[in-house]
Amino acid sequence: MVLREERRWCTYCHHYVANPLVGSLASPGRRLGAYVVDVAIPTLGCFLLFILLSAVEDAEGTPRWVVVEVGTLLLVMAYVVWMLVEFARGRTLGKSILGMYVVMEDGRRAGFFTMLVREWIGKWISGFFFGLGFLWILLDREHQGWHDKLMRTYVVKKATTLPLSLGAMGDEGVSRATFSGAGDAHHNLDAANSLQR
């Protein structure tokens, strides 16, 4: 089912209307936190490895700088492999730690190729024009940066507790048993409006 763009996300709680179990749009602050984690972990890891390897004395006379460079290279390669595995799951390390992942317009998790282009090409484009593509997240109604718009993706927070009224939508992927809380009528109204179009 393809929903009109303005009805893809609930205007009140930002859950995905067609299947609320997908989650809700992640806030710009949470996304910034994931970005900080994505940058901080490899930077801190390389820094610590550099300090540790700099202190190592090699008995065979290998220059210290060779040990440091090889160790740093191995750490960077391990991190890249780890990130590629995370891309296949539709997330980065920071998003995984903060309970987020990337979805396509239809609510499916983003795949490896989508994540690869989004993270390594799309984010470069977002940052190229003085970071305007990242600042766009603050201005956009659905918190999309240019890299999201390029790949037609959204960053969502994993669904934990959802209003009971979402279960009344009749979507086969939605079970009433998974919802808790009293529920609000706005979900039924948003769902009905989006399905009628």
Segment 129-143, tens digit of pLDDT: 999 999 999 999 999
Q: 3-state class of 11 per DSSP?
A: coil
Supply the pLDDT for residue 179: 40
In this structure, what token pair is assigned to residue 47? 């820094």
Q: Which one, of 111, 91, 82, lies nearest residue 157 by Cα?
A: 91
25 pLDDT above the threshold of 70: yes
Supply the pLDDT for residue 59: 53
- Length reported for the chain: 197
Q: 3-state class of 152 per DSSP?
A: coil
Q: Which one, of 157, 176, 117, lies nearest residue 9 by Cα?
A: 157
Supply the pLDDT for residue 103: 97
More confident residue, 115 or 55: 115
Q: Are 146 and 154 in contact (CB under 8 A)?
A: no
C-alpha 51 chain-centroid distance: 32
50 pLDDT above the threshold of 60: yes
More confident residue, 49 or 113: 113
User: What would the pLDDT profile of 68-109 be if each residue is shown by its tens digit?
Assistant: 788 888 888 998 999 999 999 999 999 999 999 999 999 999
Mean pLDDT of the chain: 80
